[in-house]
Structure 1
Amino acid sequence: MSLTLHEPRPLVTALFESLDPMAADELAAEFETVTAGRRTVLFREGEAGDSLYVLLSGKVKLSRRSSDGREGLLALIGPGEPFGEVELLDGGPRTATATAVADARLARLSKTALYRWMARHPEVAEQLLRAVARRIRGNRATVHDRLFSDVPGRVAGQLIQLAHQFGVAEDGATRVVHDLTQTELAQFVGASRESVNKVLAQYASRGWVRLENKCIVILDDAPLALRAQHKRRR
């Protein structure tokens, strides 16, 4: 599958909220918008990083492969979130593979344009560093959970996180369309598909969630939040 290019369009993102309106409009013109069909690879781990992206709609997963070929899902990017910025700061290769898991629209800014704007507007660099710091903090939290949490706790925590990102209120419940396969959802938790499916079935039997295709409806978030906080409790 290939990317489809479109004309630049106005972009609003926390990365550039410090700019005055005129400068923000000028910067928006530097972006190109692209559409990517489901399963389109935007960039691969190990490639040179030549641009950053801001997701406008859809979902993108960031993943890495271990030395034995297993894939781990690092993050699920939602609308308004930037990604691919780390490599523009340190000059290294891509640290992850970015793949659209649902039809996506994105804004892309080249490294050359970004550096030109950071030289003229130091506040852009400051906002970019903050975005990188938030991502590092989130990655550390993920590593901590995978080291010290049991699978039910990790599942509960990921459901709460996905609800914050993608949840939509629906008749007293929260519908979370994650667009992940069962395997990808298990990779996100950092456990086997069988163990994650078993936990989800348990949560469904307790009336906490309802399972649908690439979607989870959270019926009662209180016990999930409690289970996520007390990860070692059986």
Structure 2
Amino acid sequence: MAEDRQGDVRGAPLFAALDDEAASALRASMTEVRLSRGDVLFHEGQPGDQLYVVTSGKIKLGRTSSDGRENLLAIQGPGEMFGELSLFDPGPRTATATAVTSTTLIALGHADLQPWLTGRPEVATQLLRALAQRLRRTNDTLADLVFSDVPGRVAKALLDLAKRFGVQSEDGIHVTHDLTQEELAQLVGASRETVNKALADFAQRGWLRHEARAVVILDVERLTRRSR
């Protein structure tokens, strides 16, 4: 890990509304953290009092059950934040944060964030919006686990990854998700075998093409229909 204070914090939607002076002041109170793939930022159950915003790379948030099974709660990319719950409800971390790729984050502690929430209503508004979006995604995930089959959940997960990390190419949307087959299965709450079967079916139908830790979505419309 290394510390730095370079870069504009307004790359994160949470602080996008700040002017030059405010952004410079905020950057001076933040710490940059660099991780290599596989590095753990914090473990589930550890105390924490910092909010993190991803500036480059990807972080996975996961939980482990008492019998050793793992579940991925979310993949966070550039501009997205996590760890904010500990600022408002002090307690142990509810997930383990691990770098999926080489990742850079900026961290802000509770004591440094509080003045921005009370003195800058736009920051507080953005934070509330981010929390509401997180809750909405959680509700959608719970509903999918109850009402959707595995292929439907796989299709929806790929479309979500495409929306956040996809790049349009000549033959489709190139989505570098950087996840192993096991991690992708954990993200949709299913076995690797079942998820691989769904992916193989999608590929056979011509909806997507597999690449190393990536897919190219060739038919967004049909994949969208399957996700519903």
What is the TM-score when the length of structure 1 is the normalising length? 0.92
User: What corresponds to 2:156 in structure 1?
Assistant: 157
Q: Distance in 2 between matches of 1:60 and 1:137?
A: 20
Between the aligned partners of 1:122 and 1:43, the Cα distance in structure 2 is 30
Shift of 1:7: 3.2
Q: In 2, distance between residues paired with 1:19 and 1:103?
A: 28
Aligned residue in 1 for 2:134: 135
Moved more, 177-186 or 16-25: 16-25
In the TM superposition, structure 1's runs of 4+ consecutive aligned residues that sit over 6 Å from their partners are none
Match of 2:5 among 1, 4, 7: 7
Tell me the matched-pair count.
227
TM-score by length of 2: 0.94
What whole-Å deviation, never above 9, does each CA across 1:166-185 have from its counterpart, x for those lacking one? 10111131111111111000
Structure 2 residues without counterparts, runs of 5 or longer: none
Matched residue, 1:204: 203
How far apart in 1 are the matches of 2:128 and 2:48? Answer: 16
**2:124 is aligned with 1:125:** yes
Greater CA drift, 40-49 or 13-22 = 13-22
C-alpha RMSD of matched pairs (Å): 1.4
Distance 2:80 2:142 in 1: 21
Letter in 1 for 2:16: E
Deviation at 1:8, TM superposition (A): 4.2
1:16 maps to: 15
Q: Which residue of 1 aligns with 2:177?
A: 178
Amino acid at match of 1:131: A
Q: Partner of 1:102 in structure 2? A: 101
What is the SS of the residue equivalent to 1:5?
A: coil
Instruction: Give, in angstroms, the shift of residue 5 of structure 1.
Output: 2.2
Deviates more, 1:126-135 or 1:71-80: 126-135
Q: Which amino acid aligns with 1:69?
A: G
Identity of aligned residues (%): 53
**Uncovered stretches (5+) of structure 1, i.e. residues with no partner:** 230-234
